[in-house]
Structure 1
């Protein structure tokens, strides 16, 4: 049986969609959707998978690794070199939590809105 659905986008709640879209656009090279605006912005690629960013009033950033405000989800990105990618993303505005479970294998960073994401070596 063919699948009923195909994943088309992952959307993150945040306080400032254009700013978070700009961070991920610089980090991933994805294209900004032409109808992006103040309350919702999206990035996409010709493969069809997109990342959306929606404004949520009183957004509370995840508190990873503490779960007082759960992370709810996290994104993983393949990179060629962990150290190089980490340095570039920190320069773009990411943060690096003190807790790093296995930083020789992957790195946990947070985006400017506080969402955790992982960098893993791979294609």
Structure 2
């Protein structure tokens, strides 16, 4: 069976560094050195640690809460040891492929049964 683990949760924002600063201060997490102006990742160490990323979306429209014309949106990256078994599992569970590895050899984009996008990303 293919190994699947949570990689990061990525939030769209017009200001990745600003939003990372907010959550970094809130959670006590540090910005990873590999971050740039279009993709910023926070990493927490120890118990309760993890990763949270912020992706540039210049035309991002904040969701209306709890309901309204703009639903909440986010996507999850799941790290896998290989695509074949993981993709078969996604499809068997009702997911669908949105974008294969054309142009992106290390990840593929899927939709869950409700239509929310997520990525399977190769570890390594």
Counterparts of 1:61 and 1:67 in 2: how far apart (Å)? 11
Question: Which structure shows the higher strand fraction?
Answer: 2
Q: Which structure 2 residue ranges, 5 or more long, are not aligned?
A: 75-124
Give every structure 1 segment of 4 or more consecutive aligned residues whose post-TM-superposition deviation is greater than 4 Å: none
- Equivalent positions of 1:47-86 (< 5 A) are 49-72=50-73
1:2-37 alpha-carbon deviations (Å, 9 max, x no partner): x62011210001100000000000000011101222
Aligned residues: 73
RMSD over equivalenced CA pairs, Å? 2.1
Within 5 Å, give how 1:1-123 maps onto structure 2: 4-46=3-45, 49-72=50-73
Query: CA offsets per residue over residues 37-77 of structure 1, 9 Å max, x none?
Result: 2111010123572000000121110111123100135xxxx
Q: Matched residues in 2 for 1:69 and 1:59: separation?
A: 11
2:91 paired residue number = none
TM-score of the aligned structures, taking structure 2 as reference length: 0.52
How far apart are the structure 1 equivalents of 2:44 and 2:23?
13
